[in-house]
Structure formats: C-alpha cells, structure tokens
Structure 1
Amino acid sequence: MTATQVTATAVAPTVRKDVSYKTPIALGAFAVLALLLFVVFARNGTSTFSFTQGGTVALPNVRFPVRATGIVITVIAALLAVAAVLLVRRRGSAPRWIIVVFALLLVVGFLAWATAGQRLPVVGLLTGSLALAAPLIFGALGGVVSERVGVINIAIEGQLLAGSFVSAVLASVTQNLLVGLIGAVIAGTLVSFVLAALSIKYVVNQVIVGVVLNVLVLGLTTFLFQAVLIPSADVVNAPPTFSNLPIPGLSLIPIIGAVLFDQSIVTYLMIVAVIVVWIGLTRTRWGLRLRSVGEHPQAADTVGINVARTRFWNVALAGAIVGLGGAYFTLGSVGAFSQNITSGAGYIALAAVIFGRWDPLRASMAGLLFGFASQVANILGIIGSPVPSDILLTLPYVVTIVAVAGLVGRVRGPAAAGRPYVKG
C-alpha cells in the first residue's frame, strides 16, 4: 500500500449505518402494557376459543388458563423486545418476523384475558374481520393506485361516503343491487374527477383539495339525508342487501372455508380487486407506466408518456375502486344510508396505504388488521368484556395510530407523490 493510499484510508470518514430504535421502543412499551394487563391486573378462569362452524368437520375447542397464559406471553414479549434491541444494534433493523410473532402473542393474550370464563367464536371473529375490512381494502387499493401515479388521495373518505350514498339511493329506487354497485363506482369516480382536475390541471395543493372534498361530500350527503332520505325513507333509503354466497365444496373447508368462501359478493369483489391491482401494478405495462409517472414524471415524459393524462385517468380509476368499498356500507352491511356512515374509514384506509408501504398486498393486509380490530371490539361488546364499551369503540383507531406511528418504521412513498408536474 502506498503512502497516498494509507493517507486516504486514514482520513476517510467512517460511514455509520443509520439506526432507528422506533420498533424496539414500541415493542418494549407493549411488553410493559402486557405486564400491567396480564400480570398486575390478571384475571382468573379459563378462556375457550371455539372453532365450531357449519360443515362436516368438527374442530376441538382450545382452552387457555388466563393467568398462566398471560404470564407466559408477557415473558416471551419481553424477550422479543430485548432481541429486537440487539438485532437493531447489530443489523440496523429488527426482522419483520419478530413484529409478527409479538403481535400475534399479544392478540391471543388480550383475547384470552378479555374473555376469561367465556367462549370466543374464532371463526365468527375471522369471518367478520374480512367483511369489515372490505371497505378499508377497497379504499387502500384506491389510495395505492392514486399515490403510485403521483397524486396524494386524501379524499378516500369522501369517495367512500359518496359511493355509499348513491348506491343506497339507486338500489332503493330500482330494487336492483347491480345498479347500486354501478352507482357507487360512478360516484367515487366523480369525486376523483374533481380531485384530478384541481390537482393536475390547476395545480392546487393535493392535500388541501382532498380535505375540502371530504368536507364537501360529508356536508352534501348530510343535507340530502335530512332533506330527502328521511322524509321518503321507504322509497329512497331502503335498499336490498347482498346475502352470503357460499361456494360449493370450498365453503366446507374447516375455518378457511367459512372465512374466505362464504361471503357476500362485495367481499368476493374485494378479493378479486386485490389480485387484479397487484398483478396490474407489478406485472403489466400499465403498471410500469403508472409507477414511472409517480416516481420520475420528467423521465416518463421524455420517453413519450403523457404524464397529465396518465395521472388523471388513474386517479379516476382509484376513485372507482374506492366507490365499490362505499357500497359495502349500504348494500353489504347496514342496509340503509345514515349520516356519516363511513365514520372515518377513509382515513383508516389512508393509514393502511402508508402502513403497507404503497404495496397493494401489504396495504390489504393492513386493512385486514384494522378490520380485525373492529370485529374484536364488536364481539367483546356482545359477549360482555371488562373493557368499557367506549374504549372498545376506539380500538380500531388506536390500532391505526400504533401501527403507523410505532411499527411502520421509516417509509418512503412514491418520489413524485404530491408534486405537480408542469411540462416545460
């Protein structure tokens, strides 16, 4: 080695990998909460997880001694938190399997603690979770498509609300569920047209446009609900609802059959939409062009892609997808439109987009997580839980905050998302 090389080596700065302890801190905080809940405020008795379902196969129940289960889970959670700290120091990040195992253990521990001395219908919990996740997943898919093409879609809430309102009115008037679904798609698309026109053509701040659209749709649907729907509820607010369509043979598979193959048409459409959007974004020319516009519009423009047109029509497509999710509230669940029926589902879907790192499959899994939290709150309220009902109602939103702020880590969205592109 020459003197010049030695000198260069000596003065070269030491590059230290950026380390974030957000995940270990979050796991440690939850381990402390587990200690308080499962050990300090431990409950006695046995919790029974029931897998009883329709079909020919009878699965045995699983019983958990609540106090012993809580102690074991608390110890394992503490060990996983320590392991996360050590792995972050060594590798710079905690492996995802630690987070998954940690979350599953805490869920099992909490459910056992909350249902001490009672029976928890696991199949019903999972089936309801998938159904409640449908509008969230539709919203997350629309958010992924819109933001991957470069337009931040804060207006998911407004698109869901518009879809639910229009689907309820059209399905009530025509007594035709297909007409209601088509109306929901059109309503979501129209809201997206406004978002696209103002943010792409007139270069208005995309976040501000989204917030204004949410407020506008909420105000408009509230006014029409009070002025039109309430006085004539039997005519314009009494839509038929989709019943479950069990798939012959598949619906009899233990657990999975009841969860995946005994759902309404809206839930089946959601599953198809996840597959189609994922394949489209990752395996087709359309997806490549869309992602290139969202990452580097100047380069896309250079190779002949019309950036404005690509953004406009894909934002409209995103609105159509979200509109289908809005139809779930009135045609797949409640059966009638009510004031602010979405209750912030659009914002939870937006959180799922971030938690899923702008990937359709991950965002859908995040939507399932939030749907699971909602169903847990519903079931615990029905069977009688020591957790106050007001706290149970906040559970989906608490899970959303924890997932995005505590577990998502550092994320980078599409490089050009939120940035208007002016050709010149």
Structure 2
Amino acid sequence: MTADATRMTAPDSARHGVLEDLPARLDAMADGLHAALAAKPAVEYEQDASPVFALLKQARATTMLIPSACGGQGAKAVDAVRFQAALGVLAPSAAIATTMHHYKIAALGQVAAAGDERAGAILTELAGDAQIIASGGAESMPGRDLRSLGSQAVRGAGGYRVTGLKRPCSLSTSMDMMSLMVELRAPDGTPEGYAQAFVDARAEGVAREPFWHSPVFRAAESHAVQLTDVRVPRERVFPLIGEVGRRFATDCYTWFQLLISASYLGVAGCLAEATPGERRAGSRAWTEAGAGIRRLEAELLDAARAVDEGAPAAKQLNLAMRARDRIEDDLAGLGNLLLRAAGGGMFARTCFFTMLAGALNAIAFHPPQRGAREGIGLELLTPDVKGRD
C-alpha cells in the first residue's frame, strides 16, 4: 500500500464530510466505535475486514437490531440505516456483509414480538455472545422465481437434515450461525413448503469453499458454503406458513432493502471521503455528488421512518423498494462525478477509486432484482414496483 493510498482513505468528515455526524452515528451504538474503526484506512479493510467484524462483536454492535427483551439494543430502523451508511464510509465490504446479519435479525425480531418463543430463544442466544449470523437465501436472477431454491430440509426424528449450497455467502468465515432458506420435504420426498433454517456454523457437514475472486468487496467473505446432511433441531426451523410466515418474509425484504441501500450509500461516501481535500475545494463534481448522496439518504430515511412508525407492511415494503431503486438508478452516476473530482493523478496511482466506483453498480445484483420480483414476501409489491425493469 502506498503512502498516497493511506493518506487519501482517511476520512475528513469533520470539515468536508458527505454524511453528517459520522462519528455520532457509530458511537450511538457503541461508545468509541468510530475512533476504533477509523484507526485504519478503508483501503486496508478492503483487503481484510475481519478486524472490523471483531470490533463490531467486541462493541456488541452486532446486537443493534436484536430486541432489548432478548438482550440486544433494539435500535430503530432510522438509526440502523444511519449506522450502516457510516460503516460503509469506513469499511465498505464490512457494511455490505453485515447487512446480511442485521436484516435477518430484524425480521426475526418481529416474529419474536408476535410471541414465537423459538425466535426469542435464537435471538437471546445471538445476543449473549454478540454472535454473527450469515444469511443464505435464493439467488435473484431475472426470470427466476425466488422460491426456486437449492437447499432442502428433510424432516426426520427430532428435526431436519439440511443439504444445499449457498454461494456467495457473505460472512462465511466469521459467522457463528447461518440462516438458510430451504424447501421442506417429508421423509419420502413430498414437498411441505418453505422455511428458514438456523444452522450452527460449526455443525458437522458445514464446509466452506473459495468462490469470490473479484477485487470488489473481496473482504466481505462471500465464499461458498456447502451443507451436507446437517442436523438441525426442529425448533431451529421456521416454516413460512400463515400470517406470521408471510410477514417474516416481507419483513426480510423490507429490512434488506433499507440496510443494503444504506451500505451502498456508505460506499459512495467512502469514495467521496477518499478524495483529497485539495481536490474537493471548489469542485462542482464533488459538491454535486455529495448533495446527491444526501438526497438519496433522505428518501431512504423516510422509508425507515415508516417502519419505525408501524406503517402497514405493504407501505413499508414499497417505500423501501422505491428508495432502493432510486439509489440503484442514481448511484453509479454519482460515482462517476466523484471519479472526475479525484482526478487523473489518483486514477494513475491507485485502483482504489475505480474499484469503489465500480462497486456502486453491484447494488443491482442484490435480490429482488428487477425482473425477478415474484415469490414469498413480495406479494405486497405494487404493480409499478414489481414490474420495474
């Protein structure tokens, strides 16, 4: 790493930050977290984010969305969005990866609030050691129903045996537990619906294999996880049936859109903060990009407030999806402005700027992609959002 790269990735939010109150956003969840994370430049975390994951566990920021009744912080959606965006400024890959942890916990918290003791027990266990949970679901591709899964759970005495492959699976190295969407099967193979299975990451039959080779978000630990006949207790499998099951699936999508969108805004913020101060001064491109990032965050925060205010599930989901789509449409263009602001000298000396700018396009690959918005949890999408391409 060059001295230029180290210097340029040090955030300067106090004087020229794109996102307001960056330290306060992080320290609201854990006192001193901003200073601890800012001790290293983002370019180092993009090679290895494991120190970030360790800091988040140590500070118990991993319990941000676990209900207080289960030993967590019970944070609001607005605060979670602000936190993820701030984390993305300091450690882009870590923000993308931990989205997979937080959104599943948030949705499971709603199940616990509805009185499900199994959900409460899992959340309490996760809160106890500030554990990290990875999330494995169906891959979103145009023309493919998200209910077409690659993992099965076969019912047996005392529980299920889960077999499947999830790739990529962020947090595959650091996870303590894995949440996996599965097709339920009777012992004779008869389909019995769909479920979320919560698998101990150390269980026999869980194996990790290299998968991710792109330099973009390489530190998110997005490798392949193979499950072969893994025993999962019955109380760790949640069939997606009835109103609770449908609401869980919808909440998963709502929270995912909020948090993944916030994380990508943070990635854009990282690119902005990496621009040297002398290049920012008087730069119309940098100023325009910063204003665009703040505008997109304001719309996303409006969607988060709908969650905090207990709006109907359909309103929550559609607001979150619209905010995500707006970010997906605008973010790459803002990244181009920031590349222009950084200048050709930085382009020549390091690939960090172009890597971050390219990374902004990856939001389009997260579920539910345009053209793949069918399945459990997406029934409440309005036609204009569901059919958007």
The TM-score, its normalising length taken from structure 1, stands at 0.24
Bigger RCO of structures 1 and 2 (CA < 8 A, at least 6 apart): 1
Please identify which structure carries the higher helix content: 1
The answer to which structure has the higher strand fraction is: 2
Larger Rg: 1
